């Protein structure tokens, strides 16, 4: 495929796990932006936040978006906050189809509560209401997606199939 498939959405919506399966199914390469940033900086995202702050992390994220936007045949799992910088969305859209993954706040809470150490924006006393508030605040940013899929209560393969069907419909309509 010429264009990349860029998975955006809040933390815990399944971008990485769905991205791996989607790449496999479409015979594309998978890249997790946060893991790439960790590889390049030699620090976990949490450590990068603690040592250098969110501004530094967002700068690394922007550089990664630039780098990945020049490549092809990728399924890219972005970090949940990549959409907060318009420049990132513009870069990733240049050569990509933006797919937003969503989930109910309760499902996100269950998925991320055990991994708080790896999630710098989550507080120790996190509640479902906190996630709901963050989701509402980011809603306008996620609305830039070309296609949105809810992952709550669904198997990974079903979500992957929805995305594959959407991609196929785009290819069919462009002929």
pLDDT > 60? residue 162? yes
8 Å CB contact between 95 and 51? no
Which of 4-13, 86-95, 125-134, 159-168 is predicted least confidently? Answer: 125-134
User: What confidence tier does 126 reach under pLDDT thresholds 50, 70, 90?
Assistant: confident
Whole-number pLDDT of residue 1:
66
User: What confidence tier does 118 reach under pLDDT thresholds 50, 70, 90?
Assistant: low
User: What confidence tier does 124 reach under pLDDT thresholds 50, 70, 90?
Assistant: low
8 Å CB contact between 6 and 92? yes
Whole-number pLDDT of residue 155:
96
Helix 128-142 crosses helix 105-112 at what angle (to 10 degrees)? 110
pLDDT > 60? residue 93? yes
Please give the CATH number for the structural domain made up of 4-167.
3.40.50.300
């Amino acid at each position: 495929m010429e264009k990349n498939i860029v998975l955006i959405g809040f933390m815990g919506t399944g971008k990485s796990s769905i991205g791996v399966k989607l790449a496999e199914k479409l015979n594309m390469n998978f890249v997790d932006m946060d893991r790439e940033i960790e590889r390049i900086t030699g620090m976990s995202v949490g450590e990068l936040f603690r040592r250098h702050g969110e501004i530094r992390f967002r700068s690394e994220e922007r550089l990664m978006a630039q780098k990945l936007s020049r490549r092809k045949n990728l399924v890219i799992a972005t970090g949940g906050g990549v959409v907060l910088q318009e420049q990132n969305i513009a870069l990733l859209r240049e050569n990509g189809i933006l797919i937003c993954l969503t989930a109910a706040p309760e499902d996100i809470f269950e998925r991320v509560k055990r991994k708080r150490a790896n999630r710098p924006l989550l507080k120790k006393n996190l509640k479902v209401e906190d996630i709901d508030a963050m989701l509402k605040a980011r809603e306008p940013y996620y609305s830039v997606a070309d296609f949105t899929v809810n992952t709550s209560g669904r198997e990974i393969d079903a979500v992957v199939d929805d995305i594959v069907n959407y991609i196929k419909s785009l290819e069919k309509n462009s002929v």
